[in-house]
Amino acid sequence: MLIESDIFARLPVLTTPTLTLRAARMNDARDMYEYSRDPLVARHVLWEAHTSIWQTRGYLRYLLRQYRAGQPGTFVIEHTQEKKVIGTIGLMWILQENRSAEIGYSLSRQYWNRGLMSEAVAAILAFCFDTLRLNRVEAQHELDNPASGAVMRHAGMRQEGVLRQRVYNKGRYVDVALYAILRDDYEALRRKEGKL
């Protein structure tokens, strides 16, 4: 069964108790620049801290091109009550033949340690398994970013190993921990929560 590319051309809106995950829009630039310029937010991701709102607008144009091409894409994370974009979460890649994908995310430092990324990851995993019908979803984090690993574990992902110097980021080779969750794991968690 092929994943329909039009689902990425018209990303659905995903909601959690606190958040709305939706397609990016050009008028998200100011909110996105506010957190993307923070070196601590950019420290463990593969992009550099933004130095101007023009750079943020360029990134938003890139996301819009991805949508138009029907490529696996990125949701912005909007704090529903505040009507403010506070991060992103999305699919880094999908392997159709293996029914697998990798997710990645970033969040404004102002909203760290509130459980919000755990909400966003739960929503994206539901999208991956219930809508895209994937069998495996992966995520990785740099070893010196254990908070990201805690988010992955909270979502039911299991650490499968450490990949030494897998990524060259910010002028150094970094070790990353690889996590994954399988459809069977996800369905077992849903049954335990009484949602299946």
The reply to whether 129 falls in a domain is: yes
Q: Residue 157: is its pLDDT beyond 70?
A: yes
**Does 10 map to a domain?**
yes
| Tens-digit pLDDT profile for residues 103-113 | 999 999 999 99
Residue 165, CA distances (Å) to 16, 50, 102, 158 in order: 35, 25, 18, 20
CATH number at residue 128: 3.40.630.30
Task: State the pLDDT at residue 5.
Answer: 63
pLDDT reported for residue 164? 97
Q: What is the pTM of this model?
A: 0.93
For 33-43, how does the pLDDT look when each residue is reduced to its tens digit (9 = 90+)?
Answer: 999 999 999 88
Residue 1 falls inside a structural domain: no
89: closest CA among 149, 45, 29, 33? 45
Tens digits of residue pLDDT in 45-88: 888 999 999 999 999 999 999 999 999 989 999 999 999 999 99
- Structural domain range at position 87: 6-192
* Rg (the chain; Cα; Å): 16
Establish if 83 belongs to a structural domain.
yes
Indicate the number of domains in the chain. Answer: 1
The per-residue pLDDT for 46 is: 84
| pLDDT tens track for 1-44 | 456 668 999 999 999 999 999 999 999 999 999 999 999 998 88
In a domain, 110, yes or no: yes
Within a domain: residue 73? yes
Average pLDDT over residues 143-154: 94
Q: How many CB atoms lie within 10 A of CB 47?
A: 12
Model confidence at 195: pLDDT above 80: no
Question: pLDDT tens for residues 124-142?
Answer: 999 999 999 999 999 999 9
